[in-house]
Structure 1
């Protein structure tokens, strides 16, 4: 018998993902890595900030990012899309997401409920707004509000930090019953672990409907044409807020992302049916049974 013909060329066996360092993207990337490994590929992920991930996709040093948050990153990505130097897969891999300012519930109950209320409470907030990592589009939006004195925020200071560092600061403030204003988002275990409220009246700073967001998959230019089998899997990958909240909780409890992903798939094997529809192994075999066998299902 002739050897099986690979659906993808040999150059596609290594699949390079960008992990932008946010727990949700680390979690979904881990799912993709586990599945691709079971299909006979050699997937790998590299921690890269959002700007570096975009540059890597453009230069084809990175193949895939599952972490384009729209509209928070829209301004940064649009030039790449217009130039055809990054491809976007539609539809979104996640709908029902959210990213905007949040406060602990006791702060909300005390009267800080909208963006227009923030400036009134400069003293209680110590003049600080806690963002995420330097270079992020969300921080750029916050800094623009401060620089233009939008909502009277001109005298506030943006505190940049990693996601983990920001959350430690928020949790410490809550423990001490202090006021704190921070960038919150969903999916994220913070929505389960912290009694928090999102602010209204944002004037679309973080997108329509007070921060409603979608998350898309990006690839290097022409990747789905070059590597159609991996491209098919990427097009099939659609997540839910509930899935990501659960998986992220395991990852943030210091379980290795790959172990958390395998455990989730073993408990929820039904998700594989849609994700692997029409997807083959690297050597051309049927994808679904190969992944189920790899997971011991």
Structure 2
């Protein structure tokens, strides 16, 4: 068996890790999960473009939130860039407590939010908080629009209905894809109809729609309009198996503005990796931070390799 050469030691997040001249062959294929959200498509695409420039072969599997974390547990998935805390925490905690997945200590995004929202004309007419929803049941046709089945936000809505929280007993959760939900919202706005739906930022919906987030949902989605931090989750032993890719994953930090800019083209049907590549070509400075201490798959300088790849 050919021994890989130890070329250095890196300290990341208080954890010492070794960088190898070339990672094990099984590390070349990097398996991401995407739960069907445009923000996760954007962040995963940016990571994938960088990995391609480093000589890796990333792939992305579209899966529900529960299946994604089960995939991390069984190591069929290497990494997931979209653990929204606190909304996903009830799903994630059992895996973490059982030592079946690892959540990286530093969030890859801060300043996100995730809660129920309405068009601005609905808010102006009096639906401004969770406590107001039940008052306008007829105008809302007794529906709250969520996204894909198994999603954490849908579960929070279902629990509110089951518990009659905010007097929501009798309301129906309408489950759909992200795109399906947004199509319903867009149709309602065109016709000036009333609709309440899951909203979040970063997302182009915040630019495309004149919308308002509902107050008063702190006990459900968390304080400050469901303010969230987004974390990266990996297979529990991924850092020891593939330290170079793990180092990149630790380095990845996004901003809401960055994600909105990449998500815009994706919402217009541009391939996510094309949108990510275009963004990184225009804003290459971010690569210096992301690629600090990261090499190519075969141990060469990572920044120069990715820069050259983007220039092609």
TM-score when normalising by structure 2: 0.93
1:79 and 2:101 correspond:
no
Is residue 204–residue 211 contact of structure 1 (8 Å, CA) maintained in 2? no
2:233 maps to: 218
SS at match of 2:105: strand
Distance (whole Å) between structure 1 residues aligned to residue 164 and residue 22 of structure 2 = 55
In structure 2, which of residues 50, 63, 67 is the aligned counterpart of residue 35 of structure 1? 50
1:251 and 2:262 correspond:
no
Deviation of residue 210 (structure 1)? 2.5
2:247 maps to: 232
Is residue 7–residue 228 contact of structure 1 (8 Å, CA) maintained in 2? no
Is residue 218–residue 226 contact of structure 2 (8 Å, CA) maintained in 1? no
Distance (whole Å) between structure 2 residues aligned to residue 191 and residue 114 of structure 1 = 18
SS at match of 2:107: strand
- Comparing 202-211 with 9-18, greater Cα deviation is found at 202-211
Is residue 23–residue 248 contact of structure 1 (8 Å, CA) maintained in 2? yes
2:59 maps to: 44
Distance (whole Å) between structure 2 residues aligned to residue 135 and residue 86 of structure 1 = 19
2:219 maps to: 204
In structure 2, which of residues 21, 32, 35 is the aligned counterpart of residue 6 of structure 1? 21
Deviation of residue 208 (structure 1)? 2.2
Q: How many residues align?
A: 295
Q: CA RMSD in A?
A: 1.2
Deviation of residue 20 (structure 1)? 1.0
Distance (whole Å) between structure 1 residues aligned to residue 218 and residue 35 of structure 2 = 27
TM-score when normalising by structure 1: 0.97
> Runs (4+) of structure 1 moved beyond 3 Å?
3-7
Specify every segment of 5 or more residues in structure 1 that has no aligned partner in the other structure, as ranges.
none
Provide Cα deviations, 1:40-90, integer angstroms capped at 9, x if missing partner. 111111111111100100000110100111111100100000011010012
In structure 2, which of residues 107, 116, 121 is the aligned counterpart of residue 92 of structure 1? 107
1:69 maps to: 84
